[in-house]
Amino acid sequence: MPKTHDSFPRFIDWLGTHHPYWNRLDLNGPLDPVMVSPAIVSLPHQWLDEFKQGCQYIYDATRGPHTDCESMFTSFDFHITPEGPRLIEINTNAAGALLVDALERFNQIDSPLPPFIPAIRQMFETVFAEGHRIAIVDEDPHTQKTRFEFKMVAGLLESWGWNVRICAPDTLNWNGQSLTDCAGHRFDGIYNRSCDFELQSPISQSLKIAFEQGFRISPHPDEYRRIADKRKLGEFATMDHRLIKQWIPPIIEVASCDRDWLWSHRKGLFFKPIGSYGSKAAYKGDRISRKTFESLWSQPMIAQQYAPPATTLVNDVEFKYDIRVYTFAGKIQLVGARLFQGQVMNFKIQGGGFAPIHWV
């Protein structure tokens, strides 16, 4: 049964004891209770083996020959239907991993996966092997809802002797040889939490130029194009692999589809922009107005067969949830859940948020 949300203060106290860097991070209370669900989601153990096989298969099939910088915290996000898991999207800079790991240990869940914190260290040392001066970058990072995670990552890295700063991309400058911030601090690599995945925004131009000249940035823009661009799901759906065929609902590119046909079939579809994140401008077909439907052709969109998420009760209140499988180089490091209410993912309602998995 889900734990009551009275556990949140105890969770914060637990963090202060079990994450020694937590109390010295000057967090100023950025961990909103709506980010932390008291639920524990149970999944069949056999699905973990299937996640391992399928995620590795997709990664290997899309692996580029010249990539020398893997994308950290890549996630495969699933809805759980009566027929089993359905892959909804892939992300190359997924949030929530450190929080899920902390909740797993706070709830004393015996995970079948290796310990996550050592895996994080190995991952960062693999990606940034050439130096340990790192910037964690996002637009207006100190106002982001996940800013607590930036500081948790920074605290971990600093406890291992790394030099870490949190900053916005437009505070960085590339001089042709090095990347520095406004105070002159020099960096060896960037952990990019911005959703400007391909570094196209004007505020990311210094990062783009640095990347084009060999500077190390994770997530790797090329890997985003290979694996996380939402149009890729349509390609993956044609893979000759039993699990992938089961996982991926049919994908339609809106621009290539007849409007009248799409309107008549809209109720079984879910629409989302190709470049969207955080469920922005995403619409469930049975709720879309004709006016909004006609606006779908103003930007690249896909339509997926709607795979309704599973639900669970938190203090007798129903929440939907999805499953986030965190990977690095195709190998699973951690699995968590995200609980929400409404049409799309949000972190606004007490009882929702990130939650750990219990394998049964």
DSSP letters, 256-316, are: GS-HHHHHHTGGGEEEEETT--TTTT-EEGGG--HHHHHHGGGS-EEEEE--PPEEEEETT
333 part of a folded domain: yes
Mark whether 286 and 355 lie in a shared domain: no
**47 vs 90: CA distance, rounded Å:** 18
**Are 197 and 297 in a shared domain?**
no
- In a domain? residue 240: no
- Statement to judge: residues 55 and 83 lie in one domain: yes
281 and 138 share one domain: no
User: DSSP 3-state assignment of 73?
Assistant: coil
Q: How far apart are CA 263 and CA 343, in angstroms?
A: 19
Do 271 and 225 lie in a common domain?
A: no
* CA dihedral for 114, 166, 75, 218, sign (positive or negative): negative
Q: Which residues pair with 80 in a beta bridge?
A: 85
Q: Both 156 and 292 in a single domain? A: no
Digit-by-digit pLDDT tens for the chain (360 residues) are: 334 457 888 998 888 888 766 655 555 557 888 999 999 999 999 999 999 999 999 999 988 665 566 789 999 999 999 999 999 999 999 999 999 999 999 999 999 999 999 999 999 999 999 899 999 999 999 888 888 899 889 989 998 999 999 999 999 999 999 999 989 999 999 999 998 989 999 999 999 999 999 899 999 888 888 898 888 888 898 899 999 999 998 788 888 888 889 898 888 888 888 765 555 677 888 889 988 998 888 888 888 888 889 999 998 999 999 999 999 999 999 999 999 998 667 788 889 999 999 999
12 and 143 assigned to the same domain:
yes
Looking at the domain assignment, is residue 69 inside a domain?
yes
Q: Residue 263: give its domain's CATH number.
A: 3.30.1490
Does residue 344 lie in a domain region?
A: yes
Q: Answer yes or no: is 180 within a domain.
A: yes
Last residue of a domain, one of 305, 322, 350: 305
Whether 345 and 201 share a structural domain: yes
Q: Are residues 150 and 295 in the same domain?
A: no
| Full residue range of the structural domain in which residue 67 is found | 7-230+309-359
Q: Is residue 36 part of a domain?
A: yes
Q: Is residue 238 part of a domain?
A: no
What's the structural domain count of the chain? 2
Looking at the fold, whether 296 and 318 belong to one and the same domain comes out as: no
